[in-house]
Structure 1
Amino acid sequence: MSKKKVITSAFSNLYTDQRIEKVCRTLYENGYEIELIGNDWNGAEEMSRPYPFSRIQLVSKSLKTAYFEFNWKLYHQLNKKADKNTILHANDLDALLPNYLMAKKLNIPLIFDSHEIFSEMPAIQGKMSQKLWRCLEKIIVPKIKLMITASSGYANWFKTRYGINPVVVQNAPGKLNFNQGISENNPKILLYQGAINPFRGIDKAILAMHHLENVIFKIAGDGPRKTEYEELVIKENLQHKVRFLGKLHPDDLREITLNVDCGMSIEENGGESYYYSLPNKVLDCIQARVPLILSNLPEMLNIKNQFDVGEIIKNHQPLSIAEAIKTVLNKGRENYQAELEKAADALCWENEEVKLLQVFEKASQSF
């Protein structure tokens, strides 16, 4: 029996969204007919994929109206493209409503993939928009039959809140057969990779550079706090120690990650979405066999308790961050390799995609 058609949709310009790319590639390689729909918010860089994709053009100038416009246009796209032989795959709460309505209309399966707890993101806390997203979540999520999410903390949160049992599919990179030598950098390189958002500990790490010698802090990514943090670097006279690399293609970022001395994932407790997160950068660094400094949040502690892949910071004071970085650099990347190797074997996409395919197989059988 031939595999079903899958329409994957997300409020994303798709270019750097590694989770969506991995999910679609896995489904495509396993015989599903894939169509991916995103949008052109924050740009529409050129992309090449082996399956069809499109970006909904948005005319909105503010994010609030962009969400409404995207959901309206996405519903009409799904209405044209979906049929009785389709599985709908909605990524995050901001793409869920049109998928839910279409699944109901056609009586077809819907898989909800929650990359985070969208309604508890720091950017919307205390705002009217948070009430709207929470209301939408409360109405739809308890009715979802098939759901995946990115960490066990998220899964437990959704189970406690809505009585649903999501399957955990961590956003791990593909297994990297690491056979390159470990580079000796002088000065040493600390890397942050990801969105330049609040509560990521980036500003505190910048200030920690006052307490470190012979270390360069590279920041790969873009986001709403980039200008503020660039100004902080100038104000603190740290231009010789901090470099902004901008938004990079995943392949280019991977190349950089492979050659640094220490990664960082020191998210602050900016609400439940951050508290229970397992950031991509943790798994990316592990796969590149790079030790990290980590926050003492549940998912990162869980990894540290299983594998000695780095150091937990005591708190977010710049001096404490600097001390953790010094510990990693003094110990040396080579001394973390055995544990990083074990972690890389366990925390890879090849293990995660097995669970993903089981969920889509279940959806296929529900026709």
Structure 2
Amino acid sequence: MKVSIKRKATILTTSELATDHRLHKLSKSLEQAGYQCEFVCRIKSNHLPFKGTNKVHYLNTIWQSSALFYLIYNLRIFFFLLFHKTNLIISIDLDTLVGCGLAKLFKQSKLIFDSHEYFPESPEINKKPWIKAIWKLAEKFFIPLVDIGITVCQPIADIYKNKYNKDFLIIRNAPSAKREIKETSITSKQRLFTILYQGAVNNGRALRELVQAMNFIEEAQLIIVGSGDIFEELKKLSDPLGDKVLMTGKVPFDKVASYTANADLGIALLEDMGLNNYYALPNRLFDSLHAGLPMLGINFPEIEKFINEYKFGTTIDNIEPQNIAKAINKIINNPSQLKEWHENALSARKYVNWEDESHKLISILKTN
């Protein structure tokens, strides 16, 4: 039965809407629960055009990064929400929770905190003690104000429960079961074996080591789909390798699937740079599973558990370039194993989908 839309939900984020698929899936789920959704995001230089139907409010912060950006953006969020009618405030990650939490103090709106990562221990701030201390203070003050907490894996939920006695729903970022997948054979479909990294091109993703590993891998191409803080550095590092490394830059989320479906091996390697990385469950694991793409991951708990549970890849215990190359060469030289992983991934798709994941949130919202 179709639910009449009477209430408004406002999703606040620092992410780029054209490249963050989870935000759009979240908005559709909220609509199923009876909410009319809108986005609030920052004006970002060189952002890709947003093609969705939801209303978007852009907030200008002048600064694109640094502490001043986060200060100004959260102040702008606070004043926007203070004078804006909404029934449900959805804060995406800790970097928007301060503004959303302050508004919650003055409004009757419910507050959802959707924590895609454990922000205080993200690689960008984990080695900056005073900045990390500020975010931990923000977390300590504002998480108790949250009405519904959401996160991506059990270890992060456990951190919030142990520190603040706050229960968080686990909603993994799986693709929709209705998403069309272009079926591809995992063997001999391309002249070169294709290795795919998709996601943010930032510190902590073992991307420097991955590029260097290509020096020891023959008849293969690495495609890096995404952009981020170390994009230009990585481009210079990969230049001597020529066509062995292709960097696409930003790609809209509706276009990324074509890269995933036509690759031979996906990559989910991370550096040990704090609890955020250690307990990470990257989006690309779910996208790869749905595309039938085998994975090479790091043996951190959640990554290893996911790959082993669905038997669609393997993990390594260190990210030295030669060790990465050794693992990939072994995979290239074992096409029967690669085909088995491909088939296992396709078989597992029916057990991992957004509809099942988001049902937990929809049920709570419909009864409140």
Aligned residue type for 1:256: Y
Tell whether 2:174 aligns with 1:169.
Answer: no
**After superposition, what is the alpha-carbon deviation per residue over 1:64-94, rounded to whole angstroms, capped at 9, x for unaligned?**
21111111111121122225xx011111111
Q: CA deviation at 1:240?
A: 3.1
Specify every segment of 5 or more residues in structure 2 that has no aligned partner in the other structure, as ranges.
Answer: none
Aligned residues: 359
Q: Is the 2:184–2:261 Cα contact (8 Å) retained in structure 1?
A: no
- Deviation of residue 286 (structure 1)? 0.8
1:126-145 Cα offsets, whole Å, 9 max, x none, are 32221111111111213423
- Supply the distance in 1 between the matched residues of 2:60 and 2:355 (Cα, whole angstroms): 34
Which is further off, 192-201 or 310-319?
310-319
Give, in angstroms, the shift of residue 357 of structure 1: 1.0
**1:122-133 equivalent positions in 2, closer than 5 A:** 122-127=123-128, 128-133=130-135
Matched, 1:243 2:241: no
Q: CA deviation at 1:48?
A: 2.0
Q: Is the 8 A contact 2:101 2:145 kept in 1?
A: no
SS where residue 72 of structure 1 aligns?
helix
CA distance in 2, matches of 1:222, 1:284: 18
TM-score in terms of structure 2 length: 0.92
CA distance in 2 between counterparts of 1:187 and 1:169 reads 36
What is the rounded CA distance, in whole Å, between the counterparts of 2:7 and 2:70 in structure 1? 29
Q: CA separation in 2, counterparts of 1:177 and 1:330?
A: 30
Aligned pairs for 1:210-229 (under 5 A) are 210-229=215-234
CA distance in 1, matches of 2:156, 2:6: 30
Of residues 302, 305, 315 in structure 1, which corresponds to 2:308?
305
Counterparts of 1:272-283 in structure 2 under 5 Å? 272-283=275-286
The equivalent of 1:117 in structure 2 is 118
Match of 2:292 in 1: 289
- Report if the CA contact (8 A) 1:13-1:40 is conserved: no
Q: Does 1:268 align with 2:271?
A: yes
**Selected match of 1:136 from 138, 152, 156:** 138
Return the offset for 1:249: 0.9
TM-score w.r.t. the length of structure 1 is 0.92
Amino acid at match of 2:360: K
Q: Distance in 2 between matches of 1:318 and 1:209?
A: 8
Distance 2:65 2:207 in 1: 26
Residue 42 of structure 1 and its aligned partner are, at CA, apart by 4.1
Partners of 2:302 and 2:63 in 1: how far apart? Answer: 36
Q: How far has the Cα of 1:246 moved from its partner? A: 1.0
Q: Distance in 2 between matches of 1:58 and 1:155?
A: 31
CA distance, structure 2, for counterparts of residue 109 and residue 219 of structure 1: 39
Residues 42, 360 of structure 1: alpha-carbon distance in 2 compared, 3 angstrom cutoff: farther
Report if the CA contact (8 A) 1:185-1:261 is conserved: no
Identity of paired residues, percent? 28
- Aligned partners of 1:359, 1:99: CA distance in 2, in Å? 20
Q: Is the 8 A contact 1:293 1:328 kept in 2?
A: no
Q: CA RMSD in A?
A: 1.8
Task: Call closer, same or farther: CA 1:61–1:188 in 2, change over 3 Å.
Answer: closer
Does residue 356 (structure 1) correspond to residue 355 (structure 2)? The answer is no
Q: Relative to 1, partners in 2 of residues 1:257 and 1:218: Cα closer, same or farther, differing over 3 Å? A: same
Tell me the alpha carbon deviations over residues 200-221 of structure 1, each in whole angstroms, 9 at most, x when there is no partner: 1111111111221100011111
Measure the CA separation in 1 of the matches of 2:15 and 2:64.
Answer: 15
1:223-272 CA-partner distances (Å, limit 9, x unpaired): 111121122223xx312311111111112211111101001001122111
Structure 1: distance between partners of 2:59 and 2:318: 42
Which amino acid is 2:107 matched to? L
SS in 2 for 1:240: helix
- 1:6 is aligned, of 9, 16, 23, to 9
**1:341 alignment partner, SS class:** helix
1:17 and 2:41 correspond: no
Alignment of 1:14-93 (within 5 A): 14-60=17-63, 62-83=65-86, 86-93=87-94
Describe the superposition over 1:299-326 as per-residue Cα deviations: whole angstroms up to 9, x where unpaired.
1111123111111113112222112222
SS in structure 1 at match of 2:347: helix
Q: 2:106 matched to which residue of 1?
A: 105
